[in-house]
A and B are shown apart, each in its own frame.
Chain A
Amino acid sequence: QIHFILLFSRQGKLRLQKWYTTLPDKEKKKIIREIVQIILSRNQKTSSFVDWKDLKLVYKRYASLYFCCAIEDQDNELLTLEVVHRYVELLDKYFGNVCELDIIFNFEKAYFILDEFIIGGEVQETSKKIAVKAIEDSDMLQETVEEYMNKPAF
């Protein structure tokens, strides 16, 4: 099971945080600081895996963004790299040539896409087409301004 996913820039700015376990806010902040520091200090010659506490961190850099997943001991690290890659592909398919700015300005969409790919730390959909279609269909459901204004709140 994936415990959490973090996206951050090369300056250490957080772009997305998804937690699949419950932790106090303070703890989360501390973990983020720690992990960002560990990963940013790794050089090119190292592997993509870091032993951290009782978890394994799997990370990969795409352009200016670091994608980091924390998995359990029995999870397959190499497959997790594929999971990360698939997420990037989904973002790319949705946004078209995705870059960090897309994720900054449309962070809620990044979350929506992630939520169509992973639930509770496990992959729910292995087809790129189906996952992206679900997002696009949901987008269609979002009301136009008139519809929005006219629909009841509760």
Chain B
Amino acid sequence: MPAPIRLRELIRTIRTARTQAEEREMIQKECAAIRSSFREEDNTYRCRNVAKLLYMHMLGYPAHFGQLECLKLIASQKFTDKRIGYLGAMLLLDERQDVHLLMTNCIKNDLNHSTQYVQGLALCTLGCMGSSEMCRDLAGEVEKLLKTSNSYLRKKAALCAVHVIRKVPELMEMFLPATKNLLNEKNHGVLHTSVVLLTEMCERSPDMLAHFRKVRQLSSSQLVPQLVRILKNLIMSGYSPEHDVSGISDPFLQVRILRLLRILGRNDDDSSEAMNDILAQVATNTETSKNVGNAILYETVLTIMDIKSESGLRVLAINILGRFLLNNDKNIRYVALTSLLKTVQTDHNAVQRHRSTIVDCLKDLDVSIKRRAMELSFALVNGNNVRGMMKELLYFLDSCEPEFKADCASGIFLAAEKYAPSKRWHIDTIMRVLTTAGSYVRDDAVPNLIQLITNSVEMHAYTVQRLYKAILGDYSQQPLVQVASWCIGEYGDLLVSGQCEEEEPIQVTEDEVLDILESVLISNMSASVTRGYALTAIMKLSTRFTCTVNRIKKVVSIYGSSIDVELQQRAVEYNALFKKYDHMRPALLERMPVMEKVTTNGPTEIVQTNGETEPAVLETKPPPSGLQPASQANDLLDLLGGNDPVIPTAPSSKPASAGGELLDLLGDLNLTGSPVSAPAPQITQPPFLLDGLTSQPLFNDVAAGIPSITAYNKNGLKIDFTFERSNTNPSVTVITIQASNSTELDMTDFVFQAAVPKTFQLQLLSPSSSVIPAFNSGTITQVIKVLNPQKQQLRMRIKLTYNHKGSAMQDLAEVNNFPPQSWQ
């Protein structure tokens, strides 16, 4: 068998391949050769073969069949083998591999090898990728080596310990003794790695941190002063060729020390004080012409800002950052912005001074710089600078990359909400964002904006006009269209009546408004949600527009057969609203009241979309008392839902026909003949009849025994009451009314209303329909639930309205003939 080709030979060959396929072929051929060589347990060429395998692995080809070979190489006595073996282990044998742990014994042996370079290999491998188990097994060895006087090994052992601690934090304690005199070394490698080790320990464990702040090191000095001394030596000592980088002595060590000082000084006055001087010294003496000096200054600034430094030092730090911002080097500007972002909360005023430079960075070409400048700009917005800042940020929104637009929009909304100098400005700003970046606005911004607009009552006309104009030209930006649809639906009446005060009112007809809403409905660009908004808006306009109700009805009925299930459901329900429940339509589609202010933590807060509550109301068909009390008192609602303790008035002899007297009815009724007492006990928000009424059967068999009554019989209209008592709640009586019509013409738009004495509560459920057909050919049924906790005699006043023979009819009556079983 000819000797396997050398590594460099293979590399050269593979590089001559002109296509991927050619390369693959070469690789496969060589892999086959390597595999058979492995099978022959060839010691001589194992090293060469594994090296080749590692090369092919880097090209992206599988190399797992070489794992065990790496183990064999590590176990070999030859240094050449070990070197490649450990390299292979680090590349192929990470802790996810089954055979990973097989390395443990070899590593253990090599940690105790007579040759330091072998020990070094073992330490390196363990420190780069040892699993937790392996770390546990070998921690003792590492700890031993941490105490050796051989600096070459000591530095490696320190980083190995860092890795062990990262993998198995509980083992931290065992390294503590060895850290005692680590910093007494002169060797920079050991110093550096020791500082790293101490940093890791202090960061992970508050106990360790406390320990290191206080404890006396072997050389009778505490850690902080020791670090300060080392740092001072680095700065003050002359040129040291071994560690010099552009005139600065060992910047790597300087930065690590500064970082450790930061951790030690954080929230600790004593430590912070001890390092004040050196920080000032570093900050003022470090050469800033090259990157290396700036790296040190950067770390210094971070430390100053994080510890309890005196104010003079802090100002110095912020000024350094200010200078950084003006530096031509983009990297410097980048870190400046990052640092300012970290300090803007605590040193707000100082950072404010650099506001204009920061705003300039919005125009930078580097994406990361732009992002930081944007975040910082938002952090700096306050009541004083909001107008100017918003101008810049809106301009930024216009021109920035798409990945920023969502965050920028959200940030602008938030800032506007907090600092808007006027409502008009606020609305204008929102409009600007919606039209500029309308498609990037977050979904949850839409409900927030709607709430905002609703609560800016005096701006309604202006807002709806501007929104209308905005979507006239372009209705592709969904959030914009959603907000606009909602507003048009709510304030369409203001739009067509041309009431705008803030700017020149536009002339819009009802049809034009419906045109745009219908376009949104039809458009392919509209998302399903947007269509929902549009449809609901159109529906709402049926109570705000006067001439186009028929058109609206038509649109609504068309969508009753829409493929989109959501739209279809809405349309069907709205249709029903036109037909059977037309009497409820005005109330349901009323103007939205000013909403309770929901504290927003940020644009991500989800707020119930008011636009959605209407369909919800229709879907569940709650009793009318479930609706929000509108700002205009609706007598029906007050009567049925409210329990306002009404001061009893003198009984009126003749009920008038206006709605207001219904309230008087409550005061009229005498309670079992006794004189009306002082205001009856306050009935607060009714928990209502649903308490105690679960889905279990309400009615018990006793119900069969309660006789029904005819409550009303006049002009051909007869209303019967049948009764049932609740199983679970003896105070509840359920009355089912049946209205029938013996005349020869239908009674339409029939509405039944009822009032009961104060101590009772009443709940009226939806009627089966509003038409009582003629000739007793059908009835309207409706359920009334009465809560009678005091078991008073049941009495009721009823009011009936309906259309009959072309005229509107109305009647009031009192029902007194309730059977005792219905209330006792």
Binding site for B on A (CB under 8 A): 14-17, 19-20, 22, 24, 29, 45-51, 76-79, 81-83, 86, 104-105, 107-108, 111-112, 115, 119-120, 122-130, 134, 137-138, 141-143, 148-149, 151-154
For B243-272 the 0/1 string (1 means CB < 8 A from A) is 101000011110100010000000000000
Q: How many B residues are at the interface, by size bracket?
A: 35 or more
Binding site for A on B (CB under 8 A): 7-8, 11-12, 15, 43-44, 46, 51, 54-55, 58-60, 72, 75-81, 83-84, 87, 94-96, 115, 117, 120, 123-124, 127-129, 152, 155-156, 159-160, 162-163, 166, 188-189, 192-193, 196, 242-243, 245, 250-253, 255, 259, 291-292, 294-295, 298-299, 302, 330-335, 365-369, 371
Q: Shortest beta-carbon distance, B195 to chain A, in Å?
A: 10
CB-defined contacts of B189 to chain A, threshold 8 Å: 124-127, 130
Q: A108-B83, A122-B159, A154-B75 are in contact. List 6 more A-B contacts (CB 8 A).
A: A17-B58, A82-B291, A107-B55, A119-B124, A119-B163, A153-B76
CB-defined contacts of B242 to chain A, threshold 8 Å: 127-130
CB-defined contacts of A111 to chain B, threshold 8 Å: 87
Partner of B295, one of A15, A45, A79, A142: A79
Q: Bound complex: CA of A77 vs CA of B51, how far in Å? A: 34
Q: Shortest beta-carbon distance, A96 to chain B, in Å?
A: 18
B298 with A119: CB separation less than 8 A: no
CB-defined contacts of A45 to chain B, threshold 8 Å: 330, 365-366
Closest to A127 in B: B242
Q: Bound complex: CA of A130 vs CA of B250, how far in Å? A: 14
B334 with A49: CB separation less than 8 A: yes
Q: Shortest beta-carbon distance, B687 to chain A, in Å?
A: 50
CB-defined contacts of B77 to chain A, threshold 8 Å: 151-154
Closest to B84 in A: A108
B124 with A105: CB separation less than 8 A: no
A78 with B335: CB separation less than 8 A: yes
Show 28 residue pairs from A and B whose CB-CB distance is below 8 angstroms, ordered by the A residue: A14-B60, A15-B58, A17-B58, A19-B94, A47-B333, A47-B369, A48-B330, A77-B331, A77-B334, A78-B331, A82-B295, A86-B252, A104-B11, A112-B87, A119-B123, A119-B156, A120-B128, A122-B159, A124-B193, A126-B250, A127-B242, A141-B79, A142-B79, A142-B83, A143-B80, A152-B76, A153-B72, A153-B78
CB-defined contacts of A48 to chain B, threshold 8 Å: 330-331
Partner of A82, one of B128, B251, B335: B251
- Chain A CB within 10 Å — which of B8, B124, B371 has the most? B124
Closest to A58 in B: B331
Q: Shortest beta-carbon distance, A62 to chain B, in Å?
A: 15
A138 with B117: CB separation less than 8 A: yes
CB-defined contacts of A15 to chain B, threshold 8 Å: 58
B54 with A122: CB separation less than 8 A: no
B155 with A125: CB separation less than 8 A: yes
CB-defined contacts of B8 to chain A, threshold 8 Å: 105
Q: Bound complex: CA of A61 vs CA of B83, how far in Å? A: 29
CB-defined contacts of B291 to chain A, threshold 8 Å: 78, 81-82
Q: Bound complex: CA of A128 vs CA of B245, how far in Å? A: 10
A123 with B156: CB separation less than 8 A: no
B96 with A24: CB separation less than 8 A: yes
CB-defined contacts of A127 to chain B, threshold 8 Å: 188-189, 242-243
A76 with B55: CB separation less than 8 A: no
B58 with A107: CB separation less than 8 A: yes
Q: Bound complex: CA of A142 vs CA of B127, how far in Å? A: 23
**Known interface pairs A78-B295, A119-B156, A120-B159; A112-B78 also in contact (CB < 8 Å):** no
Closest to A43 in B: B365
Closest to B62 in A: A25
Q: Bound complex: CA of A68 vs CA of B295, how far in Å? A: 18
Q: Bound complex: CA of A29 vs CA of B725, how far in Å? A: 73
- Chain B CB within 10 Å — which of A48, A79, A107 has the most? A79
- Chain A CB within 10 Å — which of B117, B243, B253, B369 has the most? B117
Q: Shortest beta-carbon distance, A105 to chain B, in Å?
A: 5
Partner of B193, one of A122, A141, A151: A122
CB-defined contacts of A78 to chain B, threshold 8 Å: 291-292, 294-295, 298, 331-332, 335
Q: Bound complex: CA of A57 vs CA of B293, how far in Å? A: 21
Closest to A16 in B: B58
Closest to B332 in A: A78
Partner of A149, one of B44, B94, B128: B44
Q: Bound complex: CA of A19 vs CA of B93, how far in Å? A: 12
Q: Shortest beta-carbon distance, B385 to chain A, in Å?
A: 27
A49 with B11: CB separation less than 8 A: no
Q: Bound complex: CA of A84 vs CA of B106, how far in Å? A: 32
B298 with A134: CB separation less than 8 A: no
B43 with A153: CB separation less than 8 A: yes
A47 with B368: CB separation less than 8 A: yes
CB-defined contacts of A137 to chain B, threshold 8 Å: 117
**Known interface pairs A154-B72, A154-B75; A20-B128 also in contact (CB < 8 Å):** yes
**Known interface pairs A119-B160, A124-B155; A108-B368 also in contact (CB < 8 Å):** no
A126 with B294: CB separation less than 8 A: no
**Known interface pairs A79-B299, A120-B160; A148-B78 also in contact (CB < 8 Å):** yes
A76 with B78: CB separation less than 8 A: no
Q: Bound complex: CA of A79 vs CA of B252, how far in Å? A: 7
CB-defined contacts of B127 to chain A, threshold 8 Å: 119-120
Partner of B156, one of A124, A130, A149, A152: A124
